[in-house]
Amino acid sequence: MRPATQWAREDLEALSAKGLRRVLEPLDSPQGAEVRVGDERLVNFSSNDYLGLAASPAVRAAAASALERYGVGTGASRLVVGDMVPHQLLEARLARFERAEAVRLFNSGYAANTGILPALVGPGDAVFSDALNHASLVDGCRLSRARVVVYPHADVAALTRALEQTPARRKLVVTDSVFSMDGDVAPLRELVAACEAHGAALMVDEAHATGVLGARGAGLCEALGVEDRVDLRMGTLSKALGGLGAYVATSRAVADLLVSRARPFVYSTALPAALCAAAECAVDLVEHDPAPRERLWGHIHRFTDGLRALGLPAEPRSAIFPVILGEPSRALDAARRLREAGLLVKAIRPPTVPDGTSRLRFCLSAAHTTGHIDLALEALRRVGVSRGP
């Protein structure tokens, strides 16, 4: 047996013993409120397709048209010959949507966060990161080789003390706007004030807020009116916009610097033109048709009320609702029982969440119906998931 195979088998056995081994389950249907997994037809509460645009006829038509004109692959990074007109059009459209000087595209949110941070800060600098930030921000902090200061979740007082006490050439604060595993939101107004008082830059990851929050769907920064006081706003094309990729809305100078310094941008083959066209169409729908977002928020309030009636804590802050159960075995068992009731709700376990906080994570979509929401609440009641660990 080859050494790597032996190592893998040992590690897989250890993961299985702890209830932490992952497996893949391919869908045999488009992404949507109801999906097919093998022979099962399930109501899907595990997708980030918040506005139901992943299978939108208009978005698919835009992608198909660009596919016919530009082909499948781009052939190179954008700095070589991979830059195409659809990339430029999408960046300009996103800049208008975000009301920013400029936008720079990336192939994923992970690529964006691990590219932006090392491009801006390095040795001699300090990055201040919320304790519950997404793994991509955590890894971006590490890759920057700057000093990393982790402050307690959403604790602006602790961050302020750290900013005061940490000597550094440059100081950069990074935070999610909507935290992906808990669904709560960052205290952005207070974070902006702390950064301005201490000469720090602020980067906000809007991945789970883009399309969901704000009058135009531009995210929490828009909802709170602080867009022009945040240095960088990272958004994704792969959640509420229904496609693939990510972007950062920022100043022209920062966007230009990323072309030379952000390694995932410099060294990755560019996004397919069809995905750019799809995203441009999705942005138009998000900005000009508020009905899906209004429908989503109706579901959010209905689900909040239902969870509270079951004795579960819930707040209408985003489309994400955790039902924390404690140990991985409890979360896996609850997910199995919900599946028997016709629901696809994946169990979330360490290291994605801290030890002792394994959970069911419900993600709501405008594509759901009120019947889907009520079905989920009734299934939770029937399987006895009516309190935390």
Identify whether 239 is a catalytic site residue. yes
Catalytic entry in 56, 144, 180, 238: 180
Q: Residue 210 in contact with residue 236, Cβ under 8 Å?
A: yes
Query: Of 34, 15, 79, 67, which is closest to residue 256 (Cα–Cα)?
Result: 79
DSSP track, 172-188:
EEEEESB-TTT--B--H
Residue of 87, 134, 171, 208 marked catalytic: 208
pLDDT at 385: 75
Q: What tens-digit pLDDT sequence spans the chain (389 residues)?
A: 899 999 999 999 999 999 999 999 999 999 999 999 999 999 999 999 999 999 999 999 999 999 999 999 999 999 999 999 999 999 999 999 999 999 999 999 999 999 999 999 999 999 999 999 999 999 999 999 999 999 999 999 999 999 999 999 999 999 999 999 999 999 999 999 999 999 999 999 999 999 999 999 999 999 999 999 999 999 999 999 999 999 999 999 999 999 999 999 999 999 999 999 999 999 999 999 999 999 999 999 999 999 999 999 999 999 999 999 999 999 999 999 999 999 999 999 999 999 999 999 999 999 999 999 999 999 999 988 755 44
Nearest of 153, 108, 98 to residue 131 by alpha carbon = 153
3-state percent helix, strand, coil for the chain, nearest multiple of 5: 45, 15, 40
Q: Which of 87, 134, 171, 239 is catalytic?
A: 239
Residues 278, 283, 288: CA angle, nearest 5 degrees? 130
Question: Can you give the pLDDT at residue 389?
Answer: 46
Least Cα distance to 362 among 314, 310, 309, 291 occurs for 314
What pLDDT sits at residue 384?
80
Give residue 387's pLDDT.
53
What domains does the chain contain, in order, with CATH numbers?
Answer: 21-50+319-383 (3.90.1150.10), 57-288 (3.40.640.10)
Copy the structure tokens of residue 178: 């909507």
* Active-site residue, 208 included: yes
Alpha-carbon radius of gyration of the chain: 21
Selection from 303, 324, 315, 326 nearest residue 378 by Cα: 303
pLDDT the model gives residue 354:
94
Predicted pLDDT of residue 386: 54
Query: What is d(CA 353, CA 151) in angstroms, rounded to the nearest whole number?
Result: 17
